[in-house]
Amino acid sequence: MSRSVLIKDCVLYENTARAVDILVRNGKIDRIEPGIKPAGGIEVVSAAGLTAIPGLIDIHSHGAGGIDLLSAKSISDIRVIAKTLARLGTTGFMGTTVFWDPNSHLSLAASAVGKELGGANMLGLYMESPFISLTKRGGIQPQSILEPSEKVLRGLAELSGGKLKMMVVAPEIKGVRELLPVMNELGIVPAFGHTDADYFQAKAGFNAGIRHVTHTFNAMRPLLHRDPGPLLALYENKDVTCELICDGAHVHPGMVKFFYETIGCERTVLMSDGMLTVGMAEGKFVHHGKEAETRDGTSRYADGTLIGSSLGLLQLMKRFISFTGCPLRKAVEAASLVPAKVIGVQDRKGSLVGGKDADIVLVDSHLDPKMTFIDGEKI
């Protein structure tokens, strides 16, 4: 399949006032301007009536299409995840999993990073454990939680072949803050989450180098007037980026609006925390041996414990706009450019600019995906 294509007569998410063409050569955006003449041998795609947005980057995705990284047995299984995400408008993702001894699933997932998967590109690995709070573990099983250990940390980094790029940690746990320089050395972004930290412990964690927060509000203390918890600390630190699951169940729509008005889109990372049920019909399923159910895009165990979303990132972005009234440009950036910056790929992904990877999604007036291009190939 050719990676040179001319997308004709779309409008850009940044400026819908005029139609433009997007010329793609060798998997990269060559130029964006109106009236580009098609050259011989280049595929022409009509995009009249459609809006072009950068391919979305889901930095926190456990799975899709009936597969998650913990249960995947082969690269073919991971391809199912990648193809399902691409169909829903996500062109890049961080494969997310947990510590699970033996950790053979981690090495399998690492082998898929950077590999042609026929869908969304896996950009790295994200571990939601093992140095987290037992009391704030949410849907994570107790056997996935260990005492902080440099040996374990280095072992996981080695097992991943250096593809482990983010790890959730609870800074109030003894030994976690001492591991932050090691994580920095290994190229692993520490993410604040699954934590029982109070205001002062959270503040100490941010001062020690944590610059990112996993699914803000969830699996952490709430904001109270006499015990503000970590939420006030992250609000105060303007360098901290904050993930948000915007399905309306993990965080109330009114709180989503409050978050948008106080934190702002520049620090917001829309993500899915997507389960194996992403892209599938709702109903009951079994998740790692426990009964669960998906309703209205949210997955829960039978006891009501939230375990993730079943919506694609584009669907969640639509809900974010609905809840907040956020302009399209800012919402798109919260699902593309901001996450690209968090994982350090903004030089090649996250916006529609000449020279960047041709990861492009064409959406209709309802923001439903009609065509997805990854590295210039129509998926």
Would you state the pLDDT for residue 185?
97
At 107 the three-state DSSP class reads: helix
> What pLDDT score was predicted for residue 159?
96
Domain boundaries in the chain? Answer: 5-52+356-378, 56-342
pLDDT band at 306 (very low <50, low <70, confident <90, very high): confident
- Looking at 2.40.110.10, 2.30.40.10, 1.20.120.530, 2.40.100.10, the CATH number of the domain 5-52+356-378 comes to 2.30.40.10
Is pLDDT of 201 > 90? yes
Burial of 224 (0-12, 13-18, 19+ CB in 10 A): exposed
Q: What's the pLDDT tens digit per position in 202-243?
A: 999 999 999 999 999 999 999 999 999 999 999 999 999 999
Cite the DSSP H helix spans in the chain. 75-87, 104-112, 150-159, 176-186, 199-207, 229-236, 253-263, 313-324, 328-334, 337-342
Instruction: Reply yes or no: is the peptide bond before residue 130 cis, omega within 30 of 0.
Output: yes
Angle of helix 150-159 relative to helix 176-186, nearest 10 degrees?
A: 30
pLDDT at 15: 87
- The CATH classification number of 56-342 equals 3.20.20.140
The chain-wide mean pLDDT, for the chain, equals 95
pLDDT at 331: 98
Q: What is the pLDDT of residues 254-266, one digit of tens each?
A: 999 999 999 999 9
88 and 313 Cβ atoms separated by less than 8 Å: yes
pLDDT the model gives residue 267: 97
Name the β-bridge partners of 67. Answer: 64
pLDDT tens, position by position, 37-69: 988 889 999 999 999 999 999 999 999 999 999
- What are 205's two structure tokens? 């964690």
